[in-house]
Amino acid sequence: MTTEMVPPRFDETFQRQFEQLLIWRRDVRHFRRDPIDQTLIDRLIAMSCLAPSVGNSQPWRFVRVSDPARRAAIRANFMTCNAEALQSYHGEKARLYATLKLAGLDDAPEHLAVFCDNGSETGHGLGSRTMPETKNFSVVAAIYTLWLAARIHGLGVGWVSILDPAQACEALDVPPDWSLVAYLCVGRPVEQSDEPELVRLGWQQREAFEKVLFQR
């Protein structure tokens, strides 16, 4: 006879605190250079692995990038892609884009590259045969879990997406079946705010949830 587990009760205080966590989670671009204890990084990654995944495939793979030469290759990759991206904007958007600090690559003490292992047979293809992209979605869920867990511990996370993924994979020497999902900068933020930096700087305002909710 099995004993039914009693789930924890998430009271109103916790519910309010969780909402505050969502509000105060930010995409950080300005980091202090204070080193982060590896035990804490390990704990954050362990918590991120509690995220849901299609068919319990757990396709996420984390690479802690600490080698200076590999970091330099990622930075060069970013600089090239960022310069190309600037050319796609015009007028006020181009001026504003040029002022944005779009990466914390120089200051963040921790760099984590997050990949999807497309060759893994874990999960036996359950749920992903008609929508294989759900494996990537699963990795994103793990990244968001890490993002929230980092905020709880006073850390910020910045997602560097202005990269050539093929070059990044080559620079980090990962297996050919791995595809880059995110390159994350992790560290203690220089400043704290409950408002996204891109909102504060006038790049894009947040939209009300009613604009993205539809019924059929």
What are the structural domain ranges in the chain?
28-190
Residue 161, C-beta contacts closer than 8 angstroms, at least 6 positions apart: 182, 183
Q: What is the mean pLDDT of residues 74-103?
A: 92
pTM beyond 0.85: the answer is yes
Separation of first and last alpha carbons in the chain: 45
pLDDT value of residue 201: 81
- Residue (of 209, 207, 52) closest to 143 by Cα position: 52
The residue-averaged pLDDT of 45-57 equals: 97
% of the chain surpassing 70 pLDDT: 99
* Cα 22 from Cα 149, distance rounded (Å): 11
Split at pLDDT 50, 70, 90, the class of 100 is confident
Please tell me whether residue 131 adopts helix, strand or coil conformation.
coil
pLDDT, mean over the chain: 94
pLDDT digits (tens, 9 = 90+) for 125-163: 999 999 999 999 999 999 999 999 999 999 999 999 999
Residue 1 pLDDT level (bands cut at 50, 70, 90): low
Amino acid at position 193, single letter: S
pLDDT band of 102, cuts 50, 70, 90: confident
pLDDT at 101: 82
Q: Which pLDDT does position 214 carry in this prediction? A: 95
Pick the CATH number of 28-190 from 3.40.109.10, 3.40.50.2020, 3.30.230.70, 3.30.390.10: 3.40.109.10
